[in-house]
Copies of this chain bind each other. A is one copy, B any other.
Amino acid sequence: MPRRDSGRLDEMDVLFPQTSVTDVPPPEWARLYRTMVLSRKIEERLIRLYHQAKIFGGVYTGVGQEAIGAAATSASQQEDLFAPLIRNMTIHIGRGETTLNIFRQWLARASGPTRGRDGNVHYGNLKNGVYTMISHLGAMLPVIVGGVMAKRRRGFDTIGFGTIGDGGTSTGDFHEAVNFAAVYDVPVIFLIENNHFAYSTPREFQYKCARLADKAVGYGIEGYGVDGNDAVEMLLFFRKLAADLRARPRAVLVECDTLRMRGHGEHDDSSYVPKELLARYAARDPIKVARERLTNEGMLAAAQLDAIEAACAAEVDAAYREALREPPPDPATLAQGVYADG
């Protein structure tokens, strides 16, 4: 089935004035870059741990998709809310989760964000405005809609970012959440990370529209298509979009074109993904793209980026080792906290 390439919609330029990288100060670009690099390095470690059988259960990563969460969190403000899914390490990092906490979670330590009660990708931190996902795809989208409604009622200028995969758009929850937010003009950015596959299922068995951003029309909201591997461009875009949503609250759909660069999880060799496709996106690895743009466009020097990378590597090593030394949950606590009052 032929499919038009996703690209930025014309309306985007109409709606928002052009911005350039110089509108954003270098420290912010450094933070963006760090978010991506740190996430990548954490996930590379997780992958290694999986293959060393040091992780209970599966490992799922966002390798190749780091730009999206990095850009979105960079464009967000303190009181904003996020509902990340399994490919969103950069959302956790970008919203301030510590590397140590992330290894605590993956190693199921009592000290981790879910205290070993939930595993792997299922963590968050509402103090950072980050929800803890459940596995049921689509289900976090109405949650973030409600969260944003609540915070706004309480007087905060909150907007929300809810991520969903190309596959997740097929769920009833996606539909109900987007429609609900549209009807009540709840400022949530529904971030579709279109990485071409849902587990093994290629997107032509998931949907038939030309671009997922086209779904916006049917909800009476705006839909944008962005290059999901270009963090620099997305940061500029999300900054404008977020400001616009604060000024005129409403739901919007943003489709980010990207590719899942590893298996669905590390147990999956993803042999069903065409080699040429992988090569095409490998050439546009988001960290590489950001590095090139930031240096070429004079925002950060290569040495600065190298220093960030080295710091991230050291942070991962230290955090991993520290988490390893911490104790697992005490089985005697099994039944504690099922209810808030008991």
Which A residues contact B (CB, under 8 angstroms)? Answer: 170-176, 179-180, 182-183, 204-210, 214-221
Contacts and interface: CB of A to CB of B under 8 A. Distances in A.
B214 A209 contact: no
Contact of A172 (B172, B206, B207, B219): B172
B218 A205 contact: no
A182 B207 contact: yes
A211 to B, nearest CB: 9
Nearest to A205: B183
A12 B228 CA distance: 36
Given A182-B208, A218-B209, A172 B173 contact: yes
Integer count of this chain's copies in the complex: 2
A211 B308 CA distance: 51
A172 B138 CA distance: 10
A198 B240 CA distance: 37
A254 to B, nearest CB: 14
Contact of A208 (B176, B207, B210, B220): B220
Contacts of A209: 182, 217-220
A209 B205 CA distance: 26
A218 B220 contact: no
Given A171-B172, A179-B208, A209-B218, 7 more contacts: A172-B173, A183-B208, A210-B220, A216-B218, A217-B217, A218-B218, A218-B219
A171 B174 CA distance: 10
6 contacts: A171-B172, A179-B208, A182-B207, A208-B219, A208-B220, A215-B218
A215 B215 CA distance: 7
A214 B207 contact: no
Of A170, A205, A221, most buried by chain B (CB within 10 Å of CB) is: A170
Nearest to A218: B215
Of A175, A204, A214, A215, most buried by chain B (CB within 10 Å of CB) is: A175
Contacts of A180: 170
A9 to B, nearest CB: 13
B220 A217 contact: no
Nearest to A223: B218
Nearest to A175: B175
A247 to B, nearest CB: 19
Contacts of A219: 207-209, 218
A190 to B, nearest CB: 12
A218 B206 CA distance: 12
Contacts of A204: 183
Q: Which 7 A-B pairs rank lowest in CB-CB distance, beginning with the nearest?
A: A172-B172, A208-B220, A215-B218, A175-B175, A209-B220, A218-B218, A182-B208
